[in-house]
């Protein structure tokens, strides 16, 4: 971001996008507020991370998604929470159902970054494989399908082992 860019204006204009996205991924208003604060604090400290390479809305959407995924991966008690709360993974879930959102949040910390991004955009946002491939991951729709199938197989095996 350039030295003349108004962070207060960006906060007013895009803060609600960050909050909504973080709440959707994390399932917690409190954690979403933490992500909002951390994201804008990082922009104050390192404004060059944006540098005008894309539209502000695109930057905040991607930065929020990445911050939430990182937060989930770093939770110390993720194994205990997954074992206690996550229902077995099912490919039959309607991507827009509350059950899908709950299951997705519980498993994200166990996935690679690419897998987690594909799962978020497919199950939480309801995007198609082609949309995820073209607009988000920059890969083929087949690769997105492979990522989602890999995740599904992993959790089917986990369910069978239980």
The SS3 call for residue 80 is: helix
CATH for 88-162 is 1.10.10
Give the CA distances from residue 60 to residues 27, 76, 104, 117, 140, in Å, rounded to whole numbers and listed in that order: 18, 26, 21, 15, 24
At 41, list the tokens.
């604090």
pLDDT at position 64: 95
Each residue's pLDDT, cut to its tens digit, for the chain (162 residues) gives: 445 567 888 999 999 999 999 999 998 899 999 999 999 998 888 888 877 778 889 999 999 999 998 888 766 444 443 444 444 445 555 555 666 666 666 677 778 888 888 888 887 788 888 889 888 889 998 999 899 888 888 777 766 776
Angle (CA) 16-28-115 rounded to 5° is 90
Write down the domain spans for the chain. Answer: 1-74, 88-162
Cα separation of 140 and 145, whole Å?
9
Would you identify the CATH topology of the domain 1-74?
Rna Polymerase Sigma Factor; Chain: A (1.10.1740)
Cα separation of 109 and 73, whole Å?
4
Residue position matching structure tokens 């991924």: 25
pLDDT at position 161: 72
At 121, list the tokens.
């955009």
pLDDT at position 67: 92
Output Rg (C-alpha) for the chain, integer angstroms.
17
Question: Are 69 and 19 a contacting pair, CB within 8 Å?
Answer: no
pLDDT at position 156: 73
Residue-wise burial string across 93-113, b where 16 or more C-beta atoms lie within 10 A, e elsewhere: bebeeeebbebbbbbbbbbee
């Amino acid at each position: 971001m350039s030295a003349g860019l108004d962070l207060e204006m960006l906060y007013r204009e895009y803060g609600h996008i960050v909050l909504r996205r973080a709440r959707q991924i994390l399932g917690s208003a409190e954690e979403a507020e933490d992500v909002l604060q951390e994201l804008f604090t990082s922009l104050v400290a390192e404004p060059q991370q944006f540098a005008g390479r894309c539209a502000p809305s695109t930057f905040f959407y991607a930065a929020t998604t990445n911050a939430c995924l990182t937060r989930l991966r770093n939770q110390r008690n993720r194994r205990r929470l997954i074992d206690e709360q996550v229902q077995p993974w099912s490919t039959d879930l309607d991507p827009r159902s509350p059950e899908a959102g709950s299951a997705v949040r519980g498993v994200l910390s166990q996935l690679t970054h690419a897998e987690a991004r594909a799962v978020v955009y497919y199950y939480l946002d309801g995007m198609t494989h082609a949309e995820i491939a073209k607009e988000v991951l920059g890969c083929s729709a087949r690769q997105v399908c492979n990522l989602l199938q890999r995740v599904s197989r992993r959790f089917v095996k986990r369910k069978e082992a239980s």
